[in-house]
Amino acid sequence: MATGNRYLGLIDKFRAVLPVSDSTRLISIGEGNTPLIKLENIPALTGKNVDIYVKYEGLNPTGSFKDRGMTMAVTKAVEEGSKAIICASTGNTSASAAAYAARAGIKAFVLIPEGKIALGKLAQAMMHGAEIIQIKGNFDHGMQLVKDVAEHAPVTIVNSINPYRIQGQKTAAYEIVEALGKVPDYHCLPVGNAGNITAHWLGYTEMGKISGDHPIMVGYQAAGAAPFLKGEMIDDPETVATAIRIGRPQSWDQAWAAQKESGGWFDLLSDEEILAAQKLLSEKEGIFCEPASAASVGGVLRDIKNGKIPEGSTIVCTLTGHGLKDPDTAISQCAVNPQAIDASLDAVKAAILDKL
């Protein structure tokens, strides 16, 4: 067995392109280094010849891509002497902030929209000991409150308006190019606050400084929460994909820049299309992501079929969060609930034989 090359997290690996020094105490839980998985069964369904890879960010320590940015944001907060962090969140940021604060030994305050975050994410924030503040409002209200309160209290904001979040998250692009051995033709991801598309574009443009190589960036939104499709902020975002139930994206200008400079586009999917893509990935590839994440794959399949993404393309989709985050939505879209039968050989045989 190989020894001596233990993975120490993404700051350690990418320190040459991150704002840390040799003496910085790294707050890490082994985030990053997630697999880039080639889809084997789904591409054929399009009838076109394409390579689709998914970057399975659900395999980060707290189950989402947020850990990439959070390790940097909390590392820098601690380095700067902060004793408390704060964020607004649709769920994943709160889970990640709570975990990294616990690791660092500082306090985390998380503002979440009452009744609108997935069960697993709430469980995480509670278990990691965050101070949970439920508000009678949505993410956008929470974000404004966080900005306001940070002017009156000694707390560091760890939403993606914190530039260290973007720095950490750009490492996903570095990992993809390393794993593929080339820059993908298309990079597709779900868009809420647009921090992640901003971070990926930063990573790709840093790497491509000399060659000019970069992917075309494509962002998919939920139909009920699609300010980039409307061309302006919206007030009452609504979608089953609660992670991206956001009407006022914080990285608005940066996401438009990524779209324009890369020659990409934004598009939207209905909740039904999002859930169908989530189920497809689960059933055909054995990969369980949360609804918001599946928007990238659902959108890509449509854009391959309609020819917007041409044959021969190498496509990467970011699967932003793990399916286990939201068991309620998963179970509610599966038609048949498992029936209990007698614990006898006859009953089990009967249950199996007519399904073979």
Tell me which residues touch ligand AN7 (CB under 6 A).
Answer: 64, 89-93, 160, 190-196, 243-244, 290, 292-293, 320-321
Indicate the residue among 24 and 202 with the shorter CB distance to ligand AN7: 202
Shortest CB 29 distance to ligand AN7, Å:
17
Shortest CB 108 distance to ligand AN7, Å:
13
Shortest CB 24 distance to ligand AN7, Å:
25
Indicate the residue among 43 and 321 with the shorter CB distance to ligand AN7: 321
Indicate the residue among 303 and 326 with the shorter CB distance to ligand AN7: 326
Shortest CB 14 distance to ligand AN7, Å:
19
Shortest CB 88 distance to ligand AN7, Å:
7
Shortest CB 334 distance to ligand AN7, Å:
20
Indicate the residue among 57 and 303 with the shorter CB distance to ligand AN7: 57
Sequence-ordered list of residues with C-beta below 8 angstroms from that of 142, at least 6 positions apart, any chain: 88, 89, 111, 112, 113, 135
